[in-house]
């Protein structure tokens, strides 16, 4: 029997007959390799500190729960970033320059870029996502809403994409990376990731990036421990996804949500705490957990203006402008590649006045 076990995803951009695809959108499927998830998951669960990569939060239920998180009162990042984008769209458009090609890795529903499009008027918008179906739907919807916008959607695993995917329209490139997604990886990896994004740019391109800021432990811990328990459900749901992906038998009722701010490491840590001694079956492999033992599911690093500047500098970038909300909860930065390669010449306009 033939199977899809070659690790390649199937082409998914054949259009249904009832799909009305506007002519301002092009869809390209680079068939991202689906890496061996089972191997990755098992190896994480066999470490001394058991861990699951946060990308496994986002099955369809998890994506839905994350959507709910973004509108929670305690969860300030999404609404604050939206507010910053809205208020400063004009200045951001000026930084990006006219007729840029705006590339958004992990574009999802392309929600935030809508706040910039009218001011930015890019020559083209290139949403990139690993999920072909989701990307296609979002791109077609956006094309209907912005008939003047040339959309060039690329299905690819950008995290593993060393060079810029082929076929992207020519022009000055700006990478849009909102949501503080960069915070999910350790600072050293964050610099590496940014350095790689830099390879996608022409010399005069840039990066417009959203970064969550270090702040009081009280505010941070509330954001990851909402009263309604949505974040707890989001955290626990990762086990349902692991069950589906690996035939495991995790029982979510035997774990509890734990999120705290690690002040030394400047990161929120999310864990699932085993409520009792237990053994979980993952096919041939069994994983035992002692009561109180945890599975580490997420880091969410928080930066200061200085510490983010250092990340950018190490990646070969200079911060040209920074925009913050009045309370300095969140930040959006426009980065350009160093001209000298020495990492000097930084000048940020902190729109709130006070340095952090």
The footprint of ligand AVJ (CB under 6 A) covers 69, 77, 179-181, 183-184, 224, 231, 298, 300
Q: How far is the CB of 84 from ligand AVJ (least distance, A)?
A: 15
Closest chain position to ligand AVJ (CB): 300
Per-residue CA distances from 111 to 267, 324, 354 (Å): 26, 20, 30
Q: How far is the CB of 233 from ligand AVJ (least distance, A)?
A: 11
In whole angstroms, what is the distance from residue 122 CA to residue 93 CA? 9
Between 93 and 190, CB nearer to ligand AVJ: 190
Q: How far is the CB of 260 from ligand AVJ (least distance, A)?
A: 12
Between 15 and 219, CB nearer to ligand AVJ: 219
In whole angstroms, what is the distance from residue 202 CA to residue 191 CA? 19
CA nearest to 316, candidates 350, 348, 339? 339
- Supply 292's token pair: 């109180």
- Supply 103's token pair: 């590339």
Q: How far is the CB of 174 from ligand AVJ (least distance, A)?
A: 21
Q: How far is the CB of 96 from ligand AVJ (least distance, A)?
A: 22
In whole angstroms, what is the distance from residue 257 CA to residue 225 CA? 9
Q: How far is the CB of 254 from ligand AVJ (least distance, A)?
A: 21
Interacting residues of 213 by C-beta distance below 8 A, sequence separation 6+: 302, 303, 304, 305, 324, 328, 329, 330, 331, 356
CA nearest to 220, candidates 305, 330, 64? 330
Q: How far is the CB of 217 from ligand AVJ (least distance, A)?
A: 15
Between 178 and 198, CB nearer to ligand AVJ: 178
Q: What is the DSSP string of 285-339?
A: EEEEE-TT-EEEEEEEE-B-HHHHHHHHHHTTEEEEEEEE-TT--EEEEEEEE-S
Q: Kindly calculate the radius of gyration of the chain based on its CA atoms and give it in whole angstroms.
A: 21
């Amino acid at each position: 029997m033939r199977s899809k076990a070659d690790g390649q995803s199937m082409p998914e951009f054949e259009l249904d007959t009832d799909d009305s695809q506007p002519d301002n959108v092009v869809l390209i499927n680079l068939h991202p390799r689906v890496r061996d998830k089972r191997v990755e998951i098992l190896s994480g669960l066999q470490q001394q500190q058991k861990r699951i990569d946060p990308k496994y939060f986002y099955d369809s239920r998890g994506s839905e729960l994350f959507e709910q998180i973004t509108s929670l009162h305690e969860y300030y990042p999404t609404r604050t970033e939206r507010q910053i984008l809205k208020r400063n769209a004009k200045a951001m458009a000026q930084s990006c320059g006219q007729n840029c090609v705006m590339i958004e890795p992990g574009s999802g529903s392309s929600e935030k870029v809508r706040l910039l499009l009218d001011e930015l008027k890019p020559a083209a918008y290139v949403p990139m996502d690993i999920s072909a179906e989701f990307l296609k739907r979002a791109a077609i919807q956006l094309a209907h809403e912005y008939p003047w916008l040339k959309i060039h959607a690329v299905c690819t695993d950008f995290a593993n994409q060393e060079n810029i995917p082929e076929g992207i329209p020519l022009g000055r490139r700006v990478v849009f990376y909102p949501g503080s997604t960069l915070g999910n990886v350790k600072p050293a990896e964050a610099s590496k990731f940014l350095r790689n994004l830099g390879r996608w740019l022409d010399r005069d391109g840039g990066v417009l990036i959203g970064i969550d800021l270090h702040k009081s432990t009280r505010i941070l811990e509330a954001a990851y421990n909402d009263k309604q328990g949505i974040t707890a459900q989001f955290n626990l749901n990762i086990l349902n996804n692991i069950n589906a992906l690996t035939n495991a038998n995790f029982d979510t009722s035997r774990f509890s949500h734990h999120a705290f701010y690690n002040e030394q490491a400047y990161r929120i840590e999310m864990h699932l705490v085993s409520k009792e001694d237990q053994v979980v079956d993952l096919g041939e492999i069994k994983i035992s957990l002692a009561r109180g033992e945890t599975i580490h599911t997420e880091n969410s690093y928080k930066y200061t203006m200085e510490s983010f500047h250092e990340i950018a500098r190490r990646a070969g970038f200079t911060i040209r402008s920074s925009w913050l909300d009045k309370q300095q909860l969140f930040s959006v930065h426009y980065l350009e590649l160093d001209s000298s390669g020495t990492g000097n010449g930084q000048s940020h306009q902190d729109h709130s006045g006070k340095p952090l």
